[in-house]
């Protein structure tokens, strides 16, 4: 059944638009860096250059990948929501949901398979991002020690210590995308048109991200419980030392939300009258 | 031997304050074609959806092959193939891909030979490699039936299969349903809001009105020739009517009025009655042959005959 779901997803031309968007954004940033990267680096490091003498290939593939990943913080969840939000609602609007559910398959299985298929899509999208961002950037700009500029510190990670961090960051991002996929799937169960779940997912993520990033006392109590606060946990792999406890907590929160959304989807979908 | 495939027992379903199906019970036995007749909104589609587990009844139970059907026994759907309302398919896939996809979900191992066989049955051989978005409505409907048939179910549930088809498509669909019943021995439950459509394919009939069953029986019994109403419009001529009341047809006259005589008779008597009237000087202007059940069914569109046992 999973094979069939993936077949349906990857037979749709619009599925590949996401891959095109990711490639386009990565390429644009890479081209811009290729053309004007030195000025950008000088501007970014102007305060630091006065106190430190930074030498070597600073504008390297690892740094550019980090910049690309920061840029795609909102876009990737949107692209995942495009598929997961369409999983049930899209079938309902096409009318294929009722045909699908007249077959001797359990509704819980339908939901789980659709979630796993959405997750596979998200993983492939992240893999594609790794190829066009990390692979291509390293190919064009070469590898080197990576500078991670934070608001209150600068972390320099040695060249040989970077790659595993990217692998871990992509794995963590996959977990975050699982949460997004589960949320979009839950909203998809409530709708008979995929626009609502896609916009709804993005709306929730954007609103919660604002809560997560605003340093106001009123939000500080709740932000630790919001999944959006923990979605950016991949960045922790570029700290030195890596705060494993915080990463573990973030991963646990994302897992809990994922199972919560998925469980709610299963319960709701099993009770739903199919009238589309 | 008669085997019960589906039993609906006291099904009730409401949407808000609207009662779509009200205390409905019936049984579908194998080898028969059941016509499910009712106006739009009578509860036909809701009932069919409840039989398939798409909609949950508020009250009542569905039994498939004697076993209670619910979310835990969805494997019982392997006995059934269905096309509910429009045959909506994956338009970006070919006919073959659609068929293969649903074949995998049917719970049985389906071979390519079987897929070719059902495509041949529904008359789509040679078009299976085309994208479904290029299919006509009739082709989509036939592909929908192929998908319903692919796992060789005992019962086919077809909800208004001629909706949206042109006259040729309707004739082809009727031919296909008759073939599925007579040649392949399928039990079929077909819904329609048109009596003449059901009359041409069904052996049994259930009429719903406002969610309640008002008529159930064999089509042959319900539409027996003796219940046919023949209305003849003619130029007003009292003398002819007086003579007619003394003729061999007097026992079959149900009413007379100026310019119109109504008979309750077998339709095969119509030519003889017409000849008698012409031979006795009447000018026949129009002959209308209708069945009393049809009259009754048409009257439902304007009146409330919902009370059970009206007929």
- pLDDT digit string (tens) for A91-101? 898 888 888 89
Q: What is the mean pLDDT of chain A?
A: 86
Residues B94 and B27 grouped into a single domain: yes
The percent of residues above 90 in pLDDT, for chain A, comes to 28
More confident residue, A54 or B6: B6
CA–CA dist B291, A258 (Å, integer):
62
Q: Give A214-255 pLDDT, tens digit per residue.
A: 877 777 888 888 898 898 888 888 888 888 999 999 999 999
pLDDT of res. B311? 38
Chain A: closest CA distance from residue B182 (Å): 25
Report CB contact under 8 Å: A104, B75: yes
Give residue B305's pLDDT.
45
B155 and B92 within one domain: yes
What gap in Å lies between CA A119 and CA A176, rounded to an integer? 10
How much helix, strand and coil, in percent to the nearest 5, is found in chain A? Answer: 75, 5, 20
Nearest CB partner across the interface for A99, out of B78, B88, B92:
B88
Measure B82 CA to nearest chain A CA, in Å: 7
Q: Inspect the interface and report whether the beta carbons of A104 and B84 lie closer than 8 Å.
A: no
- Taking 80 as the threshold, does the pLDDT of residue A50 lie above it? no
Residue B175 lies in a domain: yes
Whether residues B214 and B128 share a domain: the answer is: yes
pTM of the model as a whole: 0.82
Residue B239 and residue B179 in one domain: no
Give the tokens for residue B200.
């041409």
Please tell me whether residues B201 and B248 are part of one structural domain.
no
Q: Tell me what pLDDT residue A49 has.
A: 66
In a domain, B304, yes or no: no
In this structure, is residue B305 part of a structural domain? no
- Residue A159 has a pLDDT of 79
The answer to whether B260 touches B234, Cβ cutoff 8 Å, is yes
From the list B54, B71, B91, which residue is nearest A102 (CB)? B54
- Indicate whether B122 and B261 sit together in one domain: no
Query: What is the C-alpha to C-alpha distance for residues B225 and B198, in angstroms, rounded to an integer?
Result: 16
Cross-chain Cβ contact A102/B144 below 8 Å: no
What local confidence, expressed as pLDDT, does residue B307 receive? 45
Task: Please report, for the domain that includes residue B24, its CATH number.
Answer: 3.40.50.300
Using DSSP's 3-state secondary structure scheme, residue B85 falls into coil
pLDDT of res. A209: 84
pLDDT of residue B189: 92
Closest-CA distance, B41 to chain A, in angstroms, reads 14
φ, ψ (nearest 5 deg) of residue B153: -75, 160
Please report whether residue B140 resides in a domain. Answer: yes
If asked whether residues B212 and B242 sit together in one domain, one would say no
**Lowest mean pLDDT, pick from A53-57, A63-67, A207-211, B1-5:** A53-57
Q: Which two tokens stand for residue B206?
A: 């259930």
Strands (E), A158-218: none
pLDDT at A266 over 60: yes
Query: What is the rounded average pLDDT of the residues A105-122?
Result: 93
Better pLDDT: B306 or A24:
A24
Per-residue pLDDT at B56:
94
* Most A-contacting residue of B45, B48, B88, B98 (CB-CB within 10 A), to test interface: B88
Chain A residues touching B82 at Cβ < 8 A: 102
Does residue B311 fall inside a structural domain? no
Count structural domains, chain B.
2
Which runs of E-coded beta strand occur in A219-259?
Answer: none
Quick one: pLDDT at residue B141?
A: 86
pLDDT given at position B303? 55
Q: Provide the pLDDT for residue B306.
A: 45
* Nearest CA-CA partner of A205 in A106, A79, A66, A109: A79
Residue of chain A nearest B75, judged by CA positions: A104
pLDDT profile of chain B (311 residues), mean per 10: 84 91 91 87 91 93 92 90 86 92 87 89 85 88 88 89 81 84 87 81 87 84 74 82 83 83 84 87 84 68 47 38
Tokens for A126?
Answer: 């992240």
Domain of B194, in residue numbers: 4-219
Residues B18 and B161 in one domain: yes
The Cα of A263 is separated from the nearest Cα of chain B by a number of Å equal to 16
Q: What is the DSSP string of A83-147?
A: HHTHHHHHHHHHTHHHHHTTSS--HHHHHHHHHHHHHHHHHHHHHHHIIIIIIHHHHHH---PEE
pLDDT of res. B268? 82
Q: Which residues of chain B from 75 to 94 reach within 8 Å of chain A, CB to CB?
A: 75-78, 80-93
pLDDT at residue A187 in the model: 94
> What residues in A contact B105, CB-CB < 8 Å?
1, 4, 100, 103-105
Q: Is residue B309 part of a domain?
A: no
> Domain check: are B171 and B235 in the same one?
no
Question: Is residue B152 within 8 angstroms of chain A, CB to CB?
Answer: no
- CATH of residue B261: 3.30.70
Verify that B90 and B199 share a domain, yes or no.
Answer: yes
CA distance A186 to chain B (A): 19
CB pairs under 8 A between A and B: 82
Regarding whether B180 and B284 lie in a shared domain, the answer is: no
Residue B308, beta-bridge partner list: none
The mean per-residue pLDDT over the stretch A16-39 comes to: 85
* pLDDT of B310: 38
Q: Domain end: B183, B200, B219, which one?
A: B219
Residue A261 CB contacts under 8 Å (≥ 6 apart), including other chains: A179, A182, A183, A185, A186
Domain assignment of residue B230, yes or no: yes
**Which is higher by pLDDT, A73 or B145?**
B145
Q: Domain check: are B121 and B170 in the same one?
A: yes
């Amino acid at each position: 059944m999973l094979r069939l779901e993936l077949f349906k997803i990857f037979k749709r031309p619009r599925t590949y638009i996401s891959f095109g968007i990711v490639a386009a954004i990565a390429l644009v940033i890479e081209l811009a860096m290729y053309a004007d990267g030195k000025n950008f680096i000088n501007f970014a490091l102007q305060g630091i250059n006065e106190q430190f003498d930074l030498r070597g290939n600073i504008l390297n593939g690892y740094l550019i990948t980090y910049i690309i990943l920061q840029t795609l913080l909102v876009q990737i969840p949107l692209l995942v929501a495009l598929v997961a939000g369409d999983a049930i609602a899209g079938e309902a609007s096409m009318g294929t949901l009722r045909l699908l559910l007249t077959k001797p398959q359990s509704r819980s299985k339908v939901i789980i398979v659709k979630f796993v298929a959405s997750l596979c899509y998200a993983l492939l999208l992240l893999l594609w991002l790794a190829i066009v961002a990390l692979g291509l950037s390293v190919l064009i700009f070469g590898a080197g020690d990576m500078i991670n500029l934070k608001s209150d510190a600068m972390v320099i990670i040695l060249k040989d210590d970077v790659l595993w961090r990217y692998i871990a960051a992509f794995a963590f991002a996959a977990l975050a995308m699982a949460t997004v996929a589960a949320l979009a799937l839950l909203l998809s169960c409530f709708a008979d048109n995929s626009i609502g779940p896609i916009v709804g997912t993005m709306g929730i993520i954007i609103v919660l991200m604002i809560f997560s990033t605003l340093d106001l006392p009123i939000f500080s109590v709740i932000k630790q419980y919001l999944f959006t606060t923990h979605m950016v946990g991949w960045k922790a792999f570029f700290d030195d030392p890596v705060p494993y406890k915080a990463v573990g907590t973030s991963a646990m929160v994302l897992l809990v939300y994922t199972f919560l959304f998925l469980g709610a989807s299963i319960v709701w979908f099993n009770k739903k009258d199919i009238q589309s | 031997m008669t085997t019960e495939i589906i039993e609906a027992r006291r099904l009730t379903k409401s949407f808000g304050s609207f009662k779509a199906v009200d205390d409905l019970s019936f049984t579908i036995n194998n080898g028969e074609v059941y016509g499910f007749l009712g106006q739009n909104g009578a509860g036909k589609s809701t009932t069919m959806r409840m039989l398939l587990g798409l909609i949950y009844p508020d009250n009542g139970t569905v039994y498939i092959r004697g076993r209670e059907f619910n979310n835990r026994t969805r494997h019982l759907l392997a006995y059934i193939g269905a096309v509910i309302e429009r045959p909506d398919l994956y338009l970006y896939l070919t006919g073959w891909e659609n068929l293969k996809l649903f074949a995998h979900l049917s719970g049985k191992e389906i071979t390519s030979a079987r897929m070719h066989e059902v495509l041949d049955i529904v008359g789509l051989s040679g078009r299976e490699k085309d994208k479904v978005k290029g299919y006509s409505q009739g082709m989509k409907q036939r592909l929908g039936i192929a998908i319903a048939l692919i796992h060789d179910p005992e019962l086919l549930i077809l909800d208004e299969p001629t909706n949206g088809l042109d006259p040729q498509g309707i004739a082809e669909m009727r031919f296909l349903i008759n073939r599925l019943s007579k040649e392949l021995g399928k039990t079929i439950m077909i819904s329609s809001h048109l009596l003449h459509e059901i009359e041409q394919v069904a052996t049994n009939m259930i009429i719903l009105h406002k969610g309640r069953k008002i008529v159930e029986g064999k089509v042959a019994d319900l539409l027996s020739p003796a219940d046919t109403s023949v209305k003849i419009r003619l130029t007003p001529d009292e003398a002819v009517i007086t003579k007619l009341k003394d003729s061999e047809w007097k026992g079959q006259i149900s009413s007379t009025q100026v310019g119109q005589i109504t008979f309750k008779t077998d339709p095969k008597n119509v030519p003889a009655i017409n000849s008698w009237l012409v031979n006795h000087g009447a000018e026949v202007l129009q002959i209308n042959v209708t069945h009393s059940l049809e009259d009754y069914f048409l009257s439902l569109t304007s009146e409330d005959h919902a009370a059970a046992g009206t007929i």
